[in-house]
Each structure stands twice: as structure tokens, then as C-alpha cells.
Chains A and B, each alone.
Chain A
Amino acid sequence: MLCNPASSYPDKIDEMLFFQDNPFEKEYIINHYENLISQGKYSEAEHYLNQQEPVYGFFADFLNLIENRIFHLQEYVLGKPPKKQPFFYYDSRIRYPFGTLRIFTDLDAEEDTAAFFLFSDLDEQESTDGLELLTEEEEEPPRITADMIWI
């Protein structure tokens, strides 16, 4: 075989063949091959070539190598996933439940929030459960990934 026509892409990058003219020391191979071809001994020429050291030329292996590499590359790019919609619109501010608040006096003494009570307009005591402090800080959206853009 003159070269391996199979392509391993994308498992690995196919090695470059560096197609080139044959060196002088291999000239006799080409000459003998062409001599057999000119005599119409095609199968003998093919057999002879396969028994020799690899030589460069527009032989079937080389042509198949090119087509196999194009085919595998096309197969690979066709399998790539579609473009993502990276934008994630999320507009929410951070909320602190009332029980988590720490309140300080002018003298930096911490107040006991358990002693705080909430009253309605009718002076009836109301529960502080569910009471939250809404801040101006923006809340980071849940489930955002590294390839998303938060707006």
C-alpha cells in the first residue's frame, strides 16, 4: 500500500502526507511501473507497485485518501450542535426574609428582632411570616451556566 487511505478524523487529526515528487533513488520503480503500463500489463503493474517501497503518485490510495478525509470532515461538521441562544433575561432583586435581618441601634447595639411586632391599621398584631425586605441589589438568576449571558 502506498499510503493508508482511511481517515481517523475526528478521533485524531489525519497525518499530513506531504505529497511530493519522488526522489531519484525511487525513479526505477516509477520507470518500471510505467513500462508495464505502456505494455498494457495493468494488473502486473498494480501488483509490482504494491510490492515496492511507497512512492508518490496519483494512485488510487492517494485519491481515496483525499475523498475519505473530505467525507469524514463533512460528517463531523454536520454532527455539530446548533447555535445556542445565550441570552437569559432575568430581573429580580434580592429579598431578605424578616427573620434574617439584623438591626442595630445608633450605638451599634444589636436589637432583638424577636421583640419586633407588626400591627395593622386597626392596631391588630400581624404575623411577620412572609415579610421580606426588598433591596436594590440584583439577584443572580438560578440555573445560569458559564456560556449564558445574563441581561
Chain B
Amino acid sequence: MAQFEREFSNFPNQKITKHNFKNIDDSIADVINQINTLRAQGLFNQAARLIQNNSDILSQYVADAVTFRTWEEEIYNTQVYAKQKQQSIYFDDVEPDCIDGDVWLGGDA
């Protein structure tokens, strides 16, 4: 049985933490402009540091690789949990891949 992934998601112990995304507006303009200027100058390391230092604010405005990896992991863990939660009934001579609480009818008498 698949195990929960724990790099970004803590489901089922905790539901997804929503970002409450916002489109970029003037309130974040200074930071965005600085990032764009640094990038335009080829100063990518400085741009990355600026993003890192402002990650709390920027996280509501930017969906990056971590965001998508988190979503993927949240969905994966939800699927694992739902599969575990659903009771399966097996009719099989050979012991199936049951998990706790499933029902297996069959086998040698």
C-alpha cells in the first residue's frame, strides 16, 4: 500500500494550507520591480536572494515549483487516504493486498 509523502504535505494530519493568492498590484510593486531589474541586469543570484528574503509576502502572488509540488503531494496523499478509508471486500482464493479493516472472503478451508 502506498505511503503518505511528507515533503510538502501533512495530510491527513492537516489539510492543505491555502495561500489566498492575489494578482500583483501596486502594494507589491517595489519588490517585483527590484526583482525584474536584477534579472534584466543578469543578477540572478541577487534576484533569487531578494525573492527568498520576501518569500512570506511573495507567496501570495507567485505560484512556483514548490506550489505545484505541494498541490501534487496534497492530491496524492488525499488519494492514498481515501483508498485506505474505503472498505474493500475481496473474493479470492489467494490472500489479496488487504489493509486493516478490509474483508477477504476465500482461501483454503
Contacts and interface: CB of A to CB of B under 8 A. Distances in A.
Interface residues of B, number: 33
A70 B23 contact: no
Interface residues on A, range: 20 to 34
A43 B95 CA distance: 62
Interface stretch (A16-24, A60-68, A88-96, A130-138): A60-68
Interface string A44-81: 01100100000000111001101110110111011010
27 contacts: A40-B32, A42-B23, A42-B24, A42-B28, A43-B25, A46-B23, A46-B25, A58-B63, A60-B22, A67-B18, A67-B71, A70-B16, A70-B71, A70-B75, A70-B78, A73-B78, A74-B12, A74-B15, A74-B74, A75-B15, A77-B78, A78-B12, A78-B81, A82-B85, A82-B101, A83-B100, A87-B103
Interface of B: 11-12, 15-16, 18-29, 32-33, 63, 67, 71, 74-75, 78, 81-82, 85, 87, 100-103, 105
